Structure 1
Amino acid sequence: MATSVHAAQAERKIDADSHNTPVSHQDEAKLKTWYIGSIDQGTTSTRFLIFNGLGVPVASHQIEFKQMYPHSGWMEQDPREIVESVYTCIEEATKSFTDMGNSTDDIKAIGITSQRETTILWDRETGEPLYNAIAWPDTRTQAIVRELKARKGADKLQDICGLPLSTYPSALKLTWLFRNVPEVRRTYDAGRLMFGTIDTWLLYNLNGGKDKNVHVTDTTNASRTMFVNLHTLEYSPEVLDFFELDPQKLILPKIVPCSDADAFGSIASGTLKGKRITGCLGDQSAALVGQLGFEPGMAKNTYGTGCFLLYNVGEKPVMSTHGLLATVAYNFGGKRKPVYALEGSIAVAGSAVKYVVNNLKFVESSAQISDCAATVKDNGGCYFVTAFSGLFAPYWIDDAQGTMFGITQYTQQGHIARAAMEATCFQTKAILDAMEKDSGHKLTELAVDGGMTDSDLCMQTQADIINIPVDRPMMRETTALGAAIVAGFAVDVWKEFEELKEINKEDRTIFKPQISQEDSGKMYSRWTKAVEMSRGWLDSETGNQSQ
């Protein structure tokens, strides 16, 4: 049952409030007139939001950009269009901001958060990309993954970088580009090949491109490439050698903390020309920061195009033995140590909802999928393994493909719509079970954000399946808020985490489990059986459907 969280929230805060001094009324008045811009560059759309110092968004603009699917399992984006989308969003949101009577002089800094493993290569001399961006869900590297798993040293990689050999990290996308785009190899041999994830590409262009040549990344994004030693947060010679890369020829971005007053440069043109960029972090880390997950044991789950659950494990990385990833949660720099997380990554979440809308045409928009699912009381025995990009954590089944089980003449549109939503909830349950085994602790509550959390039915289903409460904020722009927070710390809008403790705490909703643990277990058992049956639908050599 969904209930107001005010009472429970007040109870949870008693201890914290006894030790922390609340923000004074004078400080609150000041924070209302201090603003931070936040670039949120996602998988399918770009947004720019302007938050005040209380964490309230006062202006925003969002546009979708084109996704390209040249072959089954491939997903590409136009690097130039991504940059253009950022500039457009900045201009439109800033116009709304100034139309309200505000001044751009009051915007203290800019933060950036972006999709993570998506990979771009460009020429240092021209500043132009050499190929489309290969997006993080892309599975064209399946055969390369199989080949590299047999290479000497493969079994040591995850202990160094925290990531398994799979189609997911940037290193595999770079390997494919080396093998299939001749211009990439020529540029590499000439020592001009620049590598970056989306954050690096945006920072390079926002600073003026080749003229300024700002080539930098933060620790959270860097940790998603496979190239970084998670213990030292420096590029690993062993990993680069495994991938047969010469760091004298491949120009890798400088790695810096997420919050830095100078390292990320400033915007070179447009309405906000000269504004410093002082924060940068990957989208899932940004959501953890935006959910104020600053203590070990805190976790958040973001339901976007994919679904990503991060669990704060403190100042030392925990290498998973149960199918999870080890990653950098955030790194505020200065005297603060980096904080690490265990992560469970689900490739397909909101994209499964879009599939039901766009391909099956049950409803006209994603917002209506919950109503369609509510036309039936349960899934009717239908289970949808949404393995459009294989299965990520904790399974890591590269040769799985989207499969549906339990269809009968009784199956209706509502059953399939419900099964599409439940797929993400079941995978979240599998990840939480793995996290409990790795950490030795069972989560008592799950903070959530992202587009799918708009559905009360989906969140209630999630609570039922995991058998713990689900905590949803009213303001769900937590990813953008996280980028604003790290940027704000660099320019002293905030100086201590305690100053943030009231941000986005109003009007949260708690969804409590409504079914028995036994019934939940039966549903999960059927899901697990469906996952096992989805194996082997792709040919491991070619990535094509098996005959």
Structure 2
Amino acid sequence: MGDTRERKTSGTEHGRLADGVNGVNGHVEEESFIGAVDQGTTSSRFIIFNRFADPIASHQIEFQNYYPHSGPLELLESVEQCIERAVEQFITKGYRKEQIKAIGLTTQRETTVCWDKYTGEPLCEAVVWPDTRTKDLVRELKGHLGADRLLQLCGLPLSTYPSSVKLLWLVRYHDQVKKAYEEGRLAFGTVDSWLIYKLNGGKEKNVHVTDTSNASRTMFMNLHTCQYDDELINFFGIDRSKVDFPKIVPSSDAEAFGTLARGILAGTKIAGCLGDQSSALVGHCGFSPGHAKNTYGTGCFLLYNVGTEPVISQYGLLATVAYDFGKGQKPVYALEGSIAVAGSGVKFLMNNLGFLRDSTKVGELARTVEDNGGVVFVTAFSGLFAPYWIDDAKGTLFGITQHTQRGHIARATLEATCFQTRAILEAMEKDSKHKLGGVAVDGGMSNSDLTMQTQANIIGIRVERPSMRETTALGAAIAAGMAVGGFWRDLEEVSEITHKKPGRKNFEPDMDRRQGQKMYENWEKAVEMSRGWVRDAAEAEFEGIEQSEV
């Protein structure tokens, strides 16, 4: 980019004028901005970005998530309040609300909302994505004819997560939803569909849409055609004539998502929509096959760009749509894997073992020792997920001696997440045939330099940590900005802007590759030794009963 684009102004001048971009007749154009709604499981936020991907104003509301329920109207209210407060903050900084040209939306995935298509009112609480009340239904469905074809059609295995089983469960067991279904007035959607519908004014405009990244999490969409599939819908016993499904549209579109019907930004276009993990990949500019992102939260979510053809995993990973920017372009697909224990492993040290009161100090404790001292911690508190899928494993500490210190256990806890990340990335490489080109990171544990350097050493490739961590919201803003135009020429320019931002830090491997491999081999050995604890405990109890009877 030229010097004029890099020139920075300050205060009111920066707010009202573009950074040296000439307009008509030599006048300086007014700077434009994109807003982004980020609606998650426990909070909602609205962030306003400039064309340099800088957050200019924001507001966040955390709310009580009455798991496994979440109120659809409360979700809507929190989003609307965030928009109002953030725009008010934006105005106090000398900007005008008219400078916000469009907004994007990113939401929690799979969470299911049902409403009356004639009144626009919700019929029940939202069923949140980790809800496990459907476990018996899933067990039943696995025995149905055609269950073995689902993975090839939609890229997802039968589990409690997808929206399909949530909808079927509601139709069977929730009186209001069942009645609306039988009377043909049931509208179904994920959180993105619900918010877009209500932000547009509800039943009056009846904008009932979803994007391909969210639709790919329902198990109703064929991953290859990106359209609803009758075989999938019929498998779940849903009569399509009795349910109003949201129309599937690209993730970036200037018209499909409508406009805000009320509030301080009434009339502003909604131009982008992405599921949260997909949005984070876009926010990290993971636009090429082999680019991956890892969000280190309570657990970890990894997404791996596999290009424009879906890849059905041989290692228990999920296949999903990463993003779909339309305009004649093919959708981009991803493989997804998750780690159950990441930040929760740190909390375990704090809450259960009393190591520290502040999670940020765990890294400092780990630095008090040079290495793990031979300690390996398999944090299989609920078994191990992809690519191991070991249900009968238990959390196990190996290699403890009389010389083991708390620092060794702290370091082994951080390393456990890094080892599992490598295992998933290796499976993704094998599945996709695309060489890993780097891992972009965000989430709480990514703030630890020690953890990120360890991650780079264990995977043997660069780890990239951006200075601006609101990558999920930025992904929605990018989708909206690309739809309305006038912000970025193309995705390459967006990537150039974000990668040149000050404060970005890259972690290059600085450990001998053989040492990193030896550490990983010890981890794999420990994983194998952690097997069977659930089964063995049950057998031991049974044997104890037998012996007492004798």
Q: Could you tell me the TM-score, scaled by structure 1's length?
A: 0.85
- The one-letter code of the counterpart of 2:94 is G
- Deviation of 1:483 after TM superposition, in Å, equals 0.7
Q: How does 1:332-411 map to 2 (within 5 A)?
A: 332-354=325-347, 362-379=355-372, 381-388=375-382, 391-396=384-389, 399=391, 403-406=395-398
Give the fraction of aligned pairs with identical amino acids, expressed as a percent: 59
Match of 1:51 in 2: 49
Distance 1:90 1:358 in 2: 36
What is aligned with 2:62?
64
Q: Which moved more, 1:156-165 or 1:440-449?
A: 440-449
Q: After alignment, is 54-63 or 122-131 more displaced?
A: 122-131
**Pair 1:297-2:295 in alignment:** no
Corresponding residue of 1:513 = 509
Q: Report matched runs for 1:42-191 at 5 Å.
A: 42-69=40-67, 75-191=68-184
Deviation at 1:190, TM superposition (A): 1.7
Paired amino acid for 1:385:
T
Superposition deviation, residue 425 in structure 1: 1.9
Change (3 A) 1:348 1:134: farther
Contact 1:386–1:423 (CA<8 Å) still a contact in 2?
no
Equivalent residues in 2 for 1:16-27, closer than 5 Å: 25=5
What pairs up with 1:305-344 in 2 under 5 angstroms?
Answer: 305-344=298-337
Query: Any conservation in 2 of the 1:32–1:53 contact (CA below 8 Å)?
Result: no
Q: Quick one: distance in 1 between partners of 2:389 and 2:30?
A: 46
Query: 1:424 — aligned with what?
Result: 417
Alignment of 1:492-503 (within 5 A): 492-493=485-486, 494-503=488-497
SS of the residue 2:498 aligns to = coil
Distance 1:160 1:259 in 2: 24
Rg larger in 1 or in 2? 2
| Equivalent position to 1:29, from 17, 20, 29 | 20
Distance 2:33 2:20 in 1: 12
- After TM superposition, give the deviation of residue 478 of structure 1 in Å: 1.5
- Alignment match, 2:220: 227
Assess if the C-alpha contact under 8 Å between 1:162 and 1:327 holds in 2: yes
Match of 2:363, SS state, is: helix
Match of 1:5 in 2: none
Which whole-Å CA distance do the structure 1 matches of 2:138 and 2:453 have between them? Answer: 37
Q: Which moved more, 1:324-333 or 1:287-296?
A: 287-296
CA shift in 2, pair 1:405/1:81, >3 Å = farther
- Tell whether the 8 Å contact from 1:43 to 1:305 is kept in structure 2 after alignment: no
Which moved further from structure 2: 270-279 or 413-422?
413-422
**Aligned CA distance change for structure 1 residues 349 and 187 (closer, same or farther; 3 Å):** farther
Corresponding position of 2:26: none
Do the aligned partners of 2:48 and 2:58 also contact (CA within 8 Å) in 1? yes
Query: Are the counterparts in 2 of residues 59 and 94 from structure 1 also a CA contact under 8 Å?
Result: yes
Residue 258 and residue 441 in structure 1: after superposition, are their counterparts in 2 closer, same or farther (change >3 A)? closer
How far off is 1:437 after superposition?
A: 1.0
Alignment-mate amino acid for residue 491 of structure 2 = F
Aligned to 2:13: none
Q: Contact 2:292–2:437 at 8 Å: present in 1 too?
A: no
State the Cα distance separating 1:279 from its structure 2 match: 0.5
In structure 1, how many angstroms separate the alpha carbons of the residues matched to 2:341 and 2:164? 21
Give the conservation status (yes or no) of the 8 Å contact 2:341–2:379: no
SS at match of 2:469: coil
- For 2:35, the aligned partner's letter is G
Tell whether 2:431 aligns with 1:438. Answer: yes
Aligned to 1:16: none
Cα distance change, pair 171–521 in 1 and its aligned pair in 2 (3 A): farther
Amino acid at match of 2:444: G
Aligned to 1:273: 266
2:253 maps to 260
Q: Distance in 2 between matches of 1:240 and 1:170?
A: 12
Aligned-pair distance for 1:356?
Answer: 5.1
Deviation digits for residues 30-88 of structure 1 (CA, Å, limit 9, x no counterpart): 4982100011112332221100012111111223222334xxxxx44333322222122
Residue equivalent to 1:41: 39
Contact 1:120–1:131 (Cα < 8 Å) also in 2: yes
Change (3 A) 1:139 1:343: same
AA aligned opposite 1:485: I
What secondary structure, in the 3-state scheme, does the structure 1 residue paired with 2:496 have? Answer: coil
- Partners in 2 of 1:144 and 1:415 — Cα distance? 44
Whether 2:495 is the aligned partner of 1:504: answer: no
Contact preservation (8 Å) 1:314, 1:340: yes
CA distance, structure 2, for counterparts of residue 263 and residue 119 of structure 1 = 21
CA distance, structure 1, for counterparts of residue 370 and residue 463 of structure 2? 21
For residues 302 and 338 of structure 1, what CA distance do their matches in structure 2 show? 22
* Equivalent position of 2:190 in the other structure: 197
Asked if the contact 2:290/2:438 (under 8 Å) is kept, the reply is no
Contact 2:290 2:437 in 1 (8 A): no
Greater Cα shift, 517-526 or 36-45? 517-526
> Does residue 524 in structure 1 map to residue 520 in structure 2?
yes
Classify 1:28/1:330 alpha carbon distance in 2 versus 1 (closer, same or farther; 3 Å). farther
| Cα separation, partners in 2 of 1:311 and 1:84, compared to 1, 3 Å | same
Q: Which amino acid aligns with 1:86?
A: V
Aligned CA distance change for structure 1 residues 208 and 88 (closer, same or farther; 3 Å): same
Structure-2 separation of matches of 1:355 and 1:178:
39
CA RMSD of aligned residues (A): 3.0
